[in-house]
Structure formats: structure tokens, C-alpha cells
Amino acid sequence: MNPNFSARLRCPRCAGAFDLTVFEGEADVREGALRCRCGNAYPILGGIPRVLPDDLMSTLLAEQEDFFDRHPDLRPARPEARPSATLSTLRAFGDEWKRFPERHAVHEGIFRWYFEGAGGVAWKGLDALDAGCGMGRWLHFARREGAHAVGMDVSPALEVAAAREGGDLVQADLRQPPFLPESFDLVFCLGVVHHLEDPLQGVKALARLVRPGGELRLYVYRSLEDEPWARRALLGLVTLIRRLTTRLPYGLVHASAAIIAVAATVLFLWPRRLLHRTPWGDRLTRGLPLVQYTNIPFRMLVAEQFDRLVAPIEGRFRREEVEAWIRAVGFEVVTILAGLGWRVVARRPLAAP
């Protein structure tokens, strides 16, 4: 961690500034502590500040026991809370992004698809936050385009981003972000809000971080009420299966995801690849399930199915619900584009003169 980054972080309890204590490293802090005058203290582990809520701090203990033995004043004071969707999500996605850390060539096209609405994004020099950055796929491209992009994620997948991308990263809950209001020109949150128990709570927390005139960009799953019955039936089946798979060990979920990926490849993706170049073949295969994965690597297909099966919560929303979130935070709806989900572009109005 660059020591200067600590000056930008704030205590999620009182919004106070932190005092930085360095245990290891100077120009690149590997271990240390962030201490607030309110009494809160947070560890810096592996170069990442871990500014987690009290009920999630104990998740650090299993892999960082030695650190807390050496710095007992930083040991989480509270035992792990009873199982919750938030805790399950942290563990599930931490396992996923460590299990599937690859960045594939197709990710660049997906990145551009996410941000094509409203004329795209002028990234150069932009101060941006990737909220729910996971292993840092979109963070990588935002930085490559010239943005100063900060990565934030609640899960230990952030360690993959730290090893590969470096830069300013913080492990934190996006509902309690450790930044002052109006800290960023752009806040983007892709594929995360629909995994929250209360999506609007997350949208409100992120909206507070956007400067006047800045943008909030979201990607969330959409309801399939306007889709053919076959797709709706498949979603219903997956929803039933998830009641089981969200309770299974991650190794079994991975095996299930691989089986689904093999079946999808044989039944849907190979026919699509073979037939889509002819008009009749395109018409015949375009409505097959999972054809959005036609041109992606097999391992990425497995990861996508693992994602679907392991997430404790998976919300799907109508356009009017998403618009209501944006209006609730006082932002302007710039555009909402349909696709596999809703790509939302919202703007914070400029402050009154």
C-alpha cells in the first residue's frame, strides 16, 4: 500500500481520519495499522487495508493468525456473527476469484460493453472507484485507459488483484465505504448490487461517494418476464438448484458447475458455433439457453456457472425498479440499456451556484 492512500481512507464508524502505523515496508506498506481517534483500528495485511465491519473482521483470523499473535491489540474483539447472507457472500466470492483468477482476452470486449452507454467514459485522468472489484478484471482496464482507479471489495479475492494489479485497494463493505462523500468522479459497481439483501442500501452508499456532475454506473440482473418461456423455465430450474448448491461445500459446487458447463457446451454452444453463420441456423440457435457464452473459454464458462450456483442472494429487477433506485438517491437517469442485465448510467446533478 502506498502510504499516501491511507490519508484518503476514513473510519466507517465516525468518518474520522486515520493515523497510519507501519510494521513492515515504507514506500510500500505490507503490514501496518490504521487507527482512528474514536478507538477503531484496522489491520493492513499483504499491503491491503482491511476496513471491514465488526461482524466481518473475524473472517481475517483463519489465514492471518500469526499477524494477530504479533499484534494482539488489532485482533477482532467480537466472535464471528451467526451465518448471514453477507458473510456467505464474502466467503463464496473469495473462493470463486481465487479458484478462477484468470483474465481472458474476451474480458476486454466485456469491459467495453459495460461502459458503452451514454457515449462511453473518458477515462484519462478520471478518479474512479471500482466497488466490488473482485480480482480486479475491470480495474485493470480502467487503469490501462488512464484512470486513477481504486479497487474495493468485501472478499479476500482482493488479494488476487493486489498480486496482479497492485495500486490502491481496500477490503471493505460497499454499504460502509471508508471514503468521504463526493470522493470520486465515477463510481462503478458491476454485478454486485443484485447480491445484496437490500440493493437500495448499497446504491445509496455508493451514490454518496460521487462528486457533483459525476457518474454512478451499475450492472444488475434483470427480470426475465419479457423473455421466452424456455429461458424463464431454465431460470426457475436454476433457482431451485441454488437452494441446494448454496449449502454445499465449494468443491462440490465447482464440480456441479463443470458438469453444467460440459452439458451446455454439447447441447447449446457447439450447435450455435456450427450453425450461426447461416440465416436459418442463426434463427434456429439464437434462442438456445446460455448462447451468450458461445465464444468464451471453457474455464470461464465454468466460473460463470460457479458464480450462479454459489451466491446466496441473486436478485432480478424490472427497469422501473432500477429507475426508482436512481431517483431515490437524487441522481438523473442518463440511460438504462438492456442486455443480459441492466447497464445503468446515472449522474449526480451539479451543485446549485
The per-residue pLDDT for range 160-175, each reduced to its tens digit, is: 999 999 999 999 999 9
Assign a CATH topology to domain 99-223+316-347. Answer: Rossmann fold (3.40.50)
The DSSP 8-state label assigned to residue 222 in this structure reads: B
Q: What residue spans define the domains of the chain? A: 3-81, 99-223+316-347, 229-310
Burial 76-104 (b: 16+ CB within 10 A, else e): beeeeeeeeebbbbbbbbbbbbebbbebe
The per-residue pLDDT for range 294-316, each reduced to its tens digit, is: 999 999 999 989 988 988 888 89
Instruction: Name the residue among 101, 97, 123, 128 with its Cα closest to residue 112.
Output: 123
- Tell me what the pLDDT averaged over the chain comes to: 90
The grid coordinates listed for 327 are: 431517483
In this structure, the strands spanning 184-190 and 210-221 are parallel
Residue appearing with cell numbers 510500500 = 28
Do 59 and 45 meet the contact criterion of CB atoms below 8 Å apart?
no
State how far the alpha carbon of 5 is from the alpha carbons of 16, 17, 112, 233, in Å: 15, 12, 28, 48
| Predicted TM-score (pTM) of this structure | 0.91
pLDDT beyond 70 at 322: yes
> From CA 70, how far away is CA 78, in angstroms rounded?
18
The DSSP 8-state label assigned to residue 143 in this structure reads: H
Instruction: Name the residue among 216, 231, 238 with its Cα closest to residue 340.
Output: 231
The per-residue pLDDT for range 79-112, each reduced to its tens digit, is: 555 557 777 888 888 888 788 888 889 999 999 9
Higher pLDDT: 243 or 335? It is 335
Collapsing DSSP states into helix, strand and coil, what is residue 34?
A: strand
Residue appearing with cell numbers 457447439 = 270
Helix ranges restricted to H, the chain? 54-57, 65-70, 85-99, 106-114, 137-144, 158-164, 199-207, 229-245, 250-264, 270-275, 279-285, 298-310, 319-328
> From CA 193, how far away is CA 202, in angstroms rounded?
7
Position 67, amino acid: F
The per-residue pLDDT for range 200-259, each reduced to its tens digit, is: 999 999 999 999 999 999 999 998 777 666 677 777 777 888 889 988 999 999 999 999
Q: What is the pLDDT of residue 78?
A: 58
